[in-house]
Amino acid sequence: MYKHRIGFALQRHCKLPVCLRLKHDSNQPPSEPGNYYDPDTINENPMHRVKRFLKRDLNQLVSTFNDPFNQYEDSKLFPKTVDLLIVGGGAIGSSIAYWIQNKVRDGLSIVVVDKDLSYSKASSALSAGGIRQQFSLKENIQLSMYSAQFLREIKTHLTIPENDPPEVSFNPSGYLYLASEKGADTMLQNHKVQKDAGARVELLSPDIMKKRYPWLNTEGIVLGSLGTLNEGWFDSWSMLEAFKKKAKSLGTYYVEGEVVDFGFKVDPSIVTENDPNKEYEGINSVKVKLPNGEFQQIVFALCIIAAGADSGKVARMAKVGTGDGFLSTPLPVEPRKRFVYCIHAPKGPSIAPMVIDPSGFYFRPDGFDNHYICGKSPDDENEPSTSNLDVDHEYFEKEIWPLLAHRVPAFNEAKVKSSWAGYYDYNWYDQNAIVGAHPSYFNLFLATGFSGHGIQQAPAVGRAVMEMITDGGFINIDLTKFGFGRLIAEKPLYEKNVI
C-alpha cells in the first residue's frame, strides 16, 4: 500500500500541488538539462542490476549478522535508489524516519543523510533540552504537549527488543516566566490561549512567587507564569540516539555524507498553472560527498529537508530562492550561534524551575550539587560569528552574570565550570517552524526553521510529517499555518515571548 503511495512521485500518480498539473496530451520523452544527474541505476543493464542487488543483499545479511544496526555507516554498500530521502539526521529528521518507518515497515526504503553522524556540532545534541507549553500560538502549544506525552511514554515507542529501554531523564520541574509591567498584558493574553489549548499553566503574583521561591528577587516583576505539567527539561542527546537507533532497527538506513547538489529533470507531462507553456523541471536525485572525498548519487521518489541550521543552504541547491515563480522565495533558515554556560553557585537553590527573565536570560538546575546552566540570546546587532563554535566567555561576564546576580542574589558567587556553543536553525522571517510541501515541487517537503524549539517538538513534528506523507494531510495537529505558503503570501506567523 505505502509502496504505491510513495511510488506516485516517480509515476506521477500523486495529488500535485495546486500550482502543478499533469499534461496528458504529450508523448514527448523527458528532456534533460545539463546539470541532471544520471546515476547508473537509471540506464543500468538489467543483468548488472540483478547482480548488484544480489551482492547488496548478501553483504547486508553479513552486516546484519555482525551488527544488525550498522547498515551503511561502516559499510561499502551505498543506496543508489530510495523511496524517501531525509536530508538531516538530527532530532527532527530521525523522528520523521522513525514515525514513517514504524508505520510502513518494509513497505518503503528510507535513507537519512547527515554530514556528521557523531552529531558533534548538531543543534539536537548541544541543546539545553527544555520543553514547555507556554507559547502564544495554539499549534506550538499542541506540539509540545504531545512531545511531553511522548517523553513520558518513550519506552513504549522507542524500546528495541532485547535492548535496554531508552532513558531521557525527563525532569518536569516546569518553566517560570517572569513579566515586568511592560510584558504583563502579553502574559495574560498568552495564558488564555494556553488554557484554551489544555495546557496546565498557573499565574503567580510577586508575593506568591516570593513565598514559593524565597531565593528569587521579584523587584520589577508584576506577574509570573508557571507550567505545572508537561514542562521542564530532558537529555536531548539520549532522545536523539533513541530515535536514531529505533529507526535503524526498523529498516531506515543512515548515510554519513554531505548533500552538495540536487539533480533536476524536465518532465513535459507536468506543467505549471501560472505558465502552461513552461515545462516542469523537478528534482529526483542528490549528489552526496562522502567522508573519504568520494561522490555518490541517490535517486529518490520523495525528499524531506530537515537539515536544521543548514536547511536554507540545502534548499538553495534545489533552486529554492534562486529560481522563478514560487522558487524565487528563499527558505529563510540560517545558523545562529548560541552560548550555554554551566555554572556552580554554592548557595544557589537546590530545586528550581527553568526561569525566564524579562531581560531574556534563562537558567535552570543541572543535576544536583548547585550546578546550573544558563544563557541569553544576543541582540540582533551583536549576533556572534557562525564561522566556528568557540565560546565567548566575556559574554557571560558582561551580559549574563549581572542579570543572574540581580535576579538570584546567590548567583553573585557563581563560577563558570564549563560552556559550549551550538547552532539554532533560525528562521529569520518569523522565528517559527516551516513544515509542509514546497509548492513548486510535487516531491519536496520541509521540516525546519524551529528557531530553538526543534528538540522539544521533534516527536510531534515527526508524527505530523508522517501523516502528511502517508495519509495526505495532518490528522492530530493541523500545521497548515506553518506551511511554506505563508512566506509567499508574506503573512508572518509570530510568537510572543520568544526565547
Report the Cα 34 to chain-centroid distance in Å.
33
Q: What's the mean pLDDT when you consider all of the chain?
A: 87
* pLDDT over 70 at 89, yes or no: yes
In order of their start, the domains of the chain are 2-120+239-332+431-488 (3.50.50.60), 171-229+338-422 (3.30.9.10)
State the average pLDDT over residues 136-164: 96
State the average pLDDT over residues 276-283: 80
The pLDDT, as a whole number, for residue 61 is: 61
Q: In the structure, what pLDDT confidence band is assigned to residue 45 with cuts at 50, 70 and 90?
A: low
* pLDDT over 50 at 481, yes or no: yes
The pLDDT, as a whole number, for residue 10 is: 38
* pLDDT over 50 at 9, yes or no: no
Reported as a single tens digit per residue, the pLDDT across 363-421 is 999 988 999 999 999 888 889 998 999 999 999 999 999 999 999 999 999 999 999 99
Burial class (CB in 10 A: 0-12, 13-18, 19+), 55: exposed
Reported as a single tens digit per residue, the pLDDT across 58-77 is 665 655 555 444 554 444 46
The pLDDT, as a whole number, for residue 148 is: 95
Q: Of 33-47, 131-145, 360-374, where does mean pLDDT reach its minimum?
A: 33-47
Pair 488, 474: CB distance under 8 Å: no
Q: In the structure, what pLDDT confidence band is assigned to residue 267 with cuts at 50, 70 and 90?
A: confident
- The pTM for the full model equals 0.88
The pLDDT, as a whole number, for residue 57 is: 63
Reported as a single tens digit per residue, the pLDDT across 218-234 is 999 999 999 999 999 99
Q: Of 17-21, 22-26, 357-361, where does mean pLDDT reach its minimum?
A: 22-26
Q: Of 114-123, 194-203, 224-233, 394-403, where does mean pLDDT reach its minimum?
A: 114-123
Reported as a single tens digit per residue, the pLDDT across 156-188 is 999 999 899 999 999 999 999 999 999 999 999
The pLDDT, as a whole number, for residue 3 is: 46
What percent of the chain has a predicted confidence (pLDDT) above 90?
A: 73
Cell 529560481, located at residue: 323
Pair 136, 189: CB distance under 8 Å: yes
